[in-house]
Amino acid sequence: MSETLFSKIINREIPADIVYEDDLSLAFRDINPQAPVHLLLIPKKAIATINDLGPDDRELVGHLFVVAAKLAKEMGFDDDGYRTVMNCGANAGQTVFHLHLHLLAGKPFGWPPYTDRMKQA
């Protein structure tokens, strides 16, 4: 996998507002937030998309969700609710091809999530 914006954040080549880090993952604030709280949780292992996951990545993906729940609790929005999203591919809205989990909170969310975009298509 070629170097991405997220790998540069992991390597501290570009700055980010990092809110969490451990041996497997990193979480930071999205520079284009779609909610009052919008964090990106990324594995330190370079994986481009969900399609590139293998059986050995089960624990890593599960770890991202465990970290999301931990951050929700620590930041105080676990009881109010939050959304997690993992896009796969350009048509799904993935713009950085390094696996990442969006953690969004701080406002009510509708369903389906992209109703306005669907009307424009």
b vs e for 57-74, b when ≥16 Cβ sit within 10 Å of the residue's Cβ?
beebeebbeebbeebbee
Per the annotation, the verdict on 100 as an active-site residue is yes
Distance, in Å, from the CA atom of 95 to the CA atom of 87, rounded to the nearest integer, reads 9
Pick the catalytic residue from 38, 63, 98, 100. Answer: 100
Known catalytic residues are: 100
